[in-house]
Amino acid sequence: MSIRLSPDQKKAVNYTNGALLVVAGPGSGKTRVLTERIRRLLKEEKGHFQVLGLTFTNKAANEMTERLQDIPNINERAFIGTLHSFCTEVLSKRGKPVGIDGLPQIFSASQDRRSILTRAINDDPELLHQLKLAGDHREQVKRIDSWLRKIIQYKSLLLRSIEIDDEIDRKIFEGYQAELRASGAVDFDDLLLLTYQLFEERPKIADFYRRLYRFICIDEAQDLNGAQYSVLRALCGDEYKKCYDGGR
């Protein structure tokens, strides 16, 4: 398949050694360049390795995969998807050290998270007492939502419960996590938090994925938040030499 590329685009596609950041404006063909780079790596680079291609939407991942269908066994030679889908894959296969055994159920809706937190509060007399201090039912709902926002904030900072200073916040966090695990589930923020903990606490697992994915290609890298960036840094490690960021 022949794709017309500009000289600068060809440089990005043909680049191999070391990290590379592509800076380009909207509509300039960043995703096309990323796709063609993956194609070249799989066709021309020697050795047994896979390529990790990360996007921000499932739609973009599907489009990239469709463009690469001419590559034999593309699904076995490359993982192309969102960072959250990659984390789900990692946790389902290697997540036992962080309490995940098999493919977890993922709670992403606010209603599901609120129900989990409410169960945790009702199971803990101290938390239930703190909730009742808020006042009537309407105020209690507001407090539950406030606690849920705190949980999300702590997870976005990739904090473990032992790193939370406030005693009530820590109990809320621990109770919420315990209810999730009892349901065989994680929430959307856990995907990043637990994968980060896994890579940091089990360096051999991170090293396994570094050896599996010799090249990491990231679409729209400028949109990475702190937690996402930390997960990727934990994956890449200090000695990783084949990391590619496609950004704006």
The pLDDT assigned to 120 comes to: 97
Confidence of residue 242 (pLDDT cuts 50, 70, 90): very low
Domain range enclosing 78:
7-96+205-247
Confidence of residue 230 (pLDDT cuts 50, 70, 90): very high
In a domain, 2, yes or no: no
> Could you tell me if 129 and 150 lie in one domain?
yes
What's the whole-number average pLDDT of the chain?
Answer: 89
In a domain, 1, yes or no: no
> Could you tell me if 158 and 226 lie in one domain?
no
> Could you tell me if 115 and 232 lie in one domain?
no
In a domain, 194, yes or no: no
String of DSSP letters for 16-51: -SS-EEEE--TTS-HHHHHHHHHHHHHHHS-SS-EE
The more confident residue out of 45 and 105 is 105
> Could you tell me if 18 and 81 lie in one domain?
yes
> Could you tell me if 131 and 167 lie in one domain?
yes
**Residues of the chain by 3-state class (helix, strand, coil), percent to 5:** 60, 15, 25
> What's the number of domains the chain is made of?
2
The pLDDT assigned to 241 comes to: 47
**CATH number of 26's domain:** 3.40.50.300
In a domain, 199, yes or no: no
The more confident residue out of 247 and 9 is 9
User: Which percentage of the chain shows pLDDT scores above 90?
Assistant: 62
Q: What pLDDT, in 10s, does the model give residues 141-150?
A: 999 999 999 9
> Could you tell me if 60 and 113 lie in one domain?
no
